[in-house]
Amino acid sequence: MDLAKVDRIVDKYQGSPAALLPILQDIQAQENWLPREALQRVADKLQVPLTRVYGMATFFRAFSLKPRGKHICTVCMGTACHVRGAPKLVEKIERDMKIRAGETTPDLEFTLETVNCVGACALGPLVILDGTYHGNITSAKLDKVLKGIGRTK
């Protein structure tokens, strides 16, 4: 991790401890996760306890303290998506990528996540790949979506 990038992010917020949340969001957006050394640097630069930084980083589910893939695939498991086949989509991705939900491929290219609901029930089952929503997804459509990022068998 290039700590100079962390310094620039903190400096963008004038080193204000009140900006801890957006600072962590910016680091997460840049690195796709929050490395320990980045959190330590933020604590040092903001002159706040490391426990405060970790408290914020662990409170919000959107933050990850372990490396995530370049491509993030999120499958909605809410009731509407669940009854329309979301569990089968998760199983397919797990089988094809050889990872389980919540894991990242060894090459750090792909992470599979599940969420309880994204509030787009009419589109279920729903897969979000790199922030793009793919609704009414089937196994065949899923293959096409993943092929677009070079991740199919």
Query: Which tens digits make up the pLDDT trace of 74-97?
Result: 999 999 999 999 999 999 999 999
Q: Which two tokens stand for residue 135?
A: 């609704």
Q: What is the mean pLDDT of residues 35-64?
A: 95
Cα gap 147→122, rounded to integer Å: 25
Share of the chain above pLDDT 90, in %: 92
What are φ and ψ of residue 43, in 5° steps?
-60, -45
User: Which of the four CATH numbers 3.40.50, 1.10.10, 1.10.287, 3.30.70 does domain 3-59 have?
Assistant: 1.10.10
Cα gap 12→126, rounded to integer Å: 36
Q: What is the mean pLDDT of residues 61-72?
A: 92
Cα gap 97→104, rounded to integer Å: 9
CATH code 3.40.30.10 region(s) in the chain: 71-147
**Is the previous residue joined to 17 through a cis bond, with omega within 30 degrees of 0?**
no
Looking at domain 71-147, does it have CATH number 3.40.30.10? yes
Full-model pTM:
0.80
CATH code 1.10.10 region(s) in the chain: 3-59
Q: What is the enclosing helix (H) or strand (E) of 74?
A: strand 71-76
